[in-house]
Amino acid sequence: MAKKMKPKADNVLAQNKKARHDYNILDTYEAGIALTGTEIKSVRDGKTNLRDGFVRITNDEAWLVNVHISPYKEGNQFNVDPLRNRKLLLHKKEIRKLLEALTQQGLTAVPLKMYLKHGYAKVLVGVAQGKKLYDKRESLKQKDQKRDIARAMKERY
């Protein structure tokens, strides 16, 4: 009898924490991702880096660009290029809305996190607007204030 694996909280495999620091996220889309057999095994092992990734739309198809998925250790000749472009699986209506948002000045689409949902790898794509340096400082200040308040409340009760 096979062991049942205990699911991780929310099944998050990779997160792009830097994206939330560098950008204001305006809208999000959940997209499937087309992976090969060895890539999905590597993703399930958590060998994914979303930090420099972005979404590009060409010929009415959404592509995940510059996301590094390490080669699977036992993959031998079936491994593919770790930085290859991967197709995102979205409905045509969602691709049109995403394209419309990306044509606006100063907006980009970045992957926020990769997770498993019903056994399939999904990517949460965010339409984002870049922050200025003073915005980053302000968000760090607010984060510190929230942490101090939470610490004070914990001591109080």
Per-chain mean pLDDT for the chain: 87
Amino acid sitting at position 28: T
What integer pLDDT is reported at residue 58 of this predicted model? 93
pLDDT in tens, 106-127: 899 999 999 999 989 999 999 9
Is residue 122 within 8 A of residue 115, CB to CB? The reply is: yes
In this model, does residue 105 exceed pLDDT 50? yes
* Structural domains of the chain in order of their starting residue, each with its CATH number: 10-131 (2.40.280.10)
> 76's torsion region: left (phi>0), alpha (psi -120 to 50) or beta?
left
Strand partners, 17: none
Angle at 80 between CA 51 and CA 8, to 5 degrees: 50
Beta-strand ranges (E) seen in the chain are 12-15, 23-33, 48-49, 54-58, 61-65, 68-69, 86-89, 107-117, 120-130
